[in-house]
Amino acid sequence: MKPRSTQGGLVYSTDSGCMCPTCRQATADCRCSAAKPTPAGDGIVRVSRETKGRAGKGVTLVRGLTLDPLALMTLGKQLKTACGSGGTVKDGVIEVQGDHCDRVIEALKGQGFTVKRAGG
């Protein structure tokens, strides 16, 4: 059995939220996220509405943004504020609660993005 001092650092803490497993920093202060490449896209942002896996609750999804994680979170916050709704940013996709496709499309066009409505 190893002595406690050599077993490692912090295992779990609620002080800073989620921790990065690679650099052991809070996800907001993660140093290794800058090393991750941004996904390559065709330059078109696609906005769709989806209910799959959400117990019938609709969400507006924004895909195809080639931004770094911090800029993506900032844009997600701006879109949620513009719609007056909640949401999240997961795996490079912005989710806004509710059917706000038209508002999101207008907000993104106002910021200079090329936007298409995807789905029905």
Instruction: Inform me whether the pLDDT recorded for 6 exceeds 80.
Output: no
Domains annotated on the chain, with CATH: 11-37 (no CATH), 41-120 (3.30.780.10)
pLDDT at 78: 92
Dump pLDDT digits (tens) for 56-114.
788 999 998 888 888 889 999 999 999 999 998 988 899 999 889 999 999 999 988 88
Dump pLDDT digits (tens) for 16-41.
667 777 777 777 777 775 555 555 56
Is the pLDDT higher at 25 or at 3? 25
pLDDT at 106: 92
pLDDT at 29: 74
Whole-model pTM?
0.64
Give the pairing type, strands 44-50 and 59-63. antiparallel
